Structure 1
Amino acid sequence: MNTHHHIQNNLNQSPLQPYPQPLNPTTHQSKTQIEVGTRMKRDRPNKQPRKTKAPAAKRFANTKQLNYQQWLEIRKQGIGSSDAATACGLNPYMSMLELWMIKTGRMQQNIEDESAGYAPLYWGKQLEPLVAEYYSMHTNHKVRRVNAVLQHPDEDKQFMLANLDYAVVSNEEVQILECKTVGEYGSKLWRDGVPLYVLCQVQHQLAVTGKQAAHICALICGHETKIFKVTRSETVIQHIINAERYFWECVEKDVPPDVDASESAAKALQLLYPTHIPLSTTDLSEDAQANQYFEQLLQQRHLIEQHQTSFDQLKHQIQAKMQDAERATFKAGSVTWKKAKDSISLDSKAVLQHYPEFLQQFPHNKQGTRRFQIYVDDDQSKSLA
């Protein structure tokens, strides 16, 4: 990892700064630590007055005796640290709308079955103690589990909850440990340092607990470990609080939040509005914003069609130059043009013609989904041509 790279995130946070010394002189093979956020106190040229100690987080619920369903119910009562990036619209895996549907009880938490040995959740849970053990061994920092869901001490921020992986014991430099197990797909997001959605999660934890810094220990692809430091940033925390307050108001008022372009939002919309009312029409012709959306939609569709035509032409031109070759190489990369293997499939239509009773004996019901289709007035279609 190149610690000389500076990374700027979208929350007005200072860039990553190189950590000045190895974690432990005896463990020279471990990855260099970098700090996320403000400079460390000892780097400041002038001594700052000692800050007033922040109020301790409230103990919202003990988790040691909770079963899985009880834990999910607790999570519905606020925004946890793992929800923070989603509530701020920064989670690449989940939309605000999907999280809103979970918090309002319209949708079940989509957690993979832990009994399945391939499930990331299962392996993350199994490997977490080993990651914490590695961290303790390579930093000489003692850690302990926090068997509780914590709550922000301020009355107007009690929707902010946090379930910490570990607390770092008796350490002035860092107070929280967040363990991450990152697979091959997710590792792409860690190439330049801590992903934004993880930074948001940890800053949320610092906001709830009032602590000043946290370490993230990430096991990447099962063989590489990196340790990062996240320092408290009041600017970032204020952004998070504002975004989360808006989201929680949507939950309390039962009003859907804004949608985005993600697959998560598409899935949530299908679940939120699964069927249409036959022959019903909503007239949006006097809604200025809706009309603007529709005009932009038509323009984007036209651009997609143009780009698809250009793409297909370029593809065909390259194929014509390749002729019988399987691969073609270029200065910037390569392409392949290979014939798929022959296969045999069942002609289900012919089978049902000969044996119609099979449909009754082996039915398979497939639930329909709503299809979005666009119809354009003649005058509008001419203007787009």
Structure 2
Amino acid sequence: MRATPTPTGVLLGRLQPGTSEWEAARTGPVITATRIAAVMGLSPWESRLSLYHRLRGEAPDTFTATSEMEWGNRHEPTVAEKWQEDHPNHMVLTTGTWRHRDRPWQRCTPDRLITPLVLDEKWTVADTEVLEIKTSPVAEGWGEDGDPLGIPVYYRCQVMWQLDTLGLTRATVAVLIAGHDYRTYPIKYDADEADLLRTKARLFLDDVEDGYRPDIDGHSATYQTIRHLPDGMRDVDVEIEAELRDRYFAAIDAHAAAETELTECRSRILDRIGDGRRARTAGRLVATRTVRDGHTHSLQPARDRSTA
């Protein structure tokens, strides 16, 4: 079935992630829905600096499939089928990679599009909706089923970018948590929010073109990018300022002390949990114990670590 037209989206094709065609659609000065959270400094996977160097071709922008991504892709049709079963009066359509008709640098690849099964005379392409599908190993970070604000902020950035690219006003995020907990979250287009994303994205692309690099931060993607940038090694000494030296040594000492403290806290919490699964304080989740082969594998902290 052909993808439903959208008010402002131009379909580039049905591109499979990891293929050369898909890579080509992401190459160059373009901001995709999966990159916009990094532009905003909100992505857990990409930093502003790492994205900057990738867009400039100075760091690799290769697609590496992880086991989490593999199983997310495997579960995607199942989650889409569940949404379809719950909404028999709608069609769930596979789609592809799109760009904005007036802004070729604004692109997205929504998981599915949704339209009514029977179109009446009042229906327009603007009534098409986005269905974005996620999987998560844990429930932490996800709100109550149906809460419009219940999705992680980086996914909200992604969905808002998709709506703005396509000119649509509604989306649903459907997530399968821990393989059995199915939830959906309705998202409405917010013009002010979309304008902020678009403005930040355009400024970011201008900085990429002009060579204004973002500041170095503590994101792991920043560190991995900085590690990649030098080509080879010269046997020379480089002078650095005393302030950076002192900060570096202090961080090493603090890290060692924190590691020792954290290890003790983990031991104490696991000792209290015993063969249980979760630790709570006054009803609020503190940590979750995972088990493999009958023994503790890890202790995962709650994403919301506020004490209020």
**TM-score, normalized by length of structure 1?**
0.56
Consecutive unaligned residues in structure 1, runs of 5 or more: 1-53, 284-290, 335-385
1:111 corresponds to 2:67: no
> Contact 1:180–1:219 at 8 Å: present in 2 too?
yes
Secondary structure class of the residue paired with 1:222 = coil
**Residue 237 of structure 1, CA deviation:** 0.9
1:139 aligns with 2:87: yes
**Inter-CA distance 297–93: structure 2 relative to 1 (3 Å threshold):** farther
* Post-superposition CA distance 1:183-236 (Å, at most 9, x none): 24xx43325620000000000011111111111111111111111011111121
The residue that corresponds to 2:155 in the other structure is 198
Deviation for aligned residue 1:297? 6.9
What is the aligned counterpart of 2:236 among 279, 287, 291? 279
Please tell me the residue identity of whatever aligns with 2:201: E
Matched, 1:70 2:21: yes
RMSD of aligned Cα (Å): 3.8
One-letter amino acid of the structure 2 residue matched with residue 249 of structure 1: D
Q: What's the secondary structure of 2:41's corresponding residue?
A: coil
Shift in Å, 1:299: 5.6
- Residue aligning to 2:193: 236
Identity of aligned residues (%): 22
Aligned to 1:261: 218
5 Å-filtered alignment, 1:162-241, equals 162-170=108-116, 175-184=129-138, 187-191=139-143, 193-241=150-198
Partners of 1:63 and 1:310 lie apart in 2 by 48
Instruction: Kindly provide the amino acid, as one letter, of the partner of residue 278 in structure 1.
Output: D
Are the aligned partners of 2:99 and 2:105 in contact in 1 as well (CA < 8 Å)?
A: yes
Partner of 1:249: 206
Superposed CA offset, 1:298-349 (max 9, x none): 3685487479669969999xx9xx9xxx957999699xxxxxxxxxxxxxxx
Higher strand share: 2
Distance 1:62 1:314 in 2: 49
With over 3 angstroms needed to count, the CA separation of the structure-2 counterparts of 1:195 and 1:306, relative to structure 1, is closer
**CA displacement 1:342-380 (0-9 Å, x = unmatched):** xxxxxxxxxxxxxxxxxxxxxxxxxxxxxxxxxxxxxxx
Of 34, 37, 52, which residue of structure 2 is paired with 1:82?
A: 34
In the superposition, relative to structure 1, how do residues 68 and 306 fare at CA in structure 2: closer, same or farther (>3 Å)? Answer: closer
Q: Distance in 2 between matches of 1:311 and 1:282?
A: 30
Letter in 1 for 2:60: Q
The residue that corresponds to 1:102 in the other structure is 54
Larger radius of gyration: 1
Q: 1:120 is matched by which residue type in structure 2?
A: E
Counterpart-to-counterpart distance in 2, 1:231 and 1:262: 30
TM-score by length of 2: 0.69
For the pair 1:161 / 2:107, whether they are aligned, the reply is yes
Secondary structure at the counterpart of residue 169 of structure 1: strand
Alpha carbons 1:57, 1:152 under 8 Å: kept:
yes
Q: Matched residues in 2 for 1:265 and 1:135: separation?
A: 37
Give the alignment of 1:289-368 within 5 angstroms: 295=243, 298=246, 302=250, 305=253, 327=271
**CA 1:239 to 1:276, structure 2 compared with 1: closer, same or farther past 3 Å?**
farther
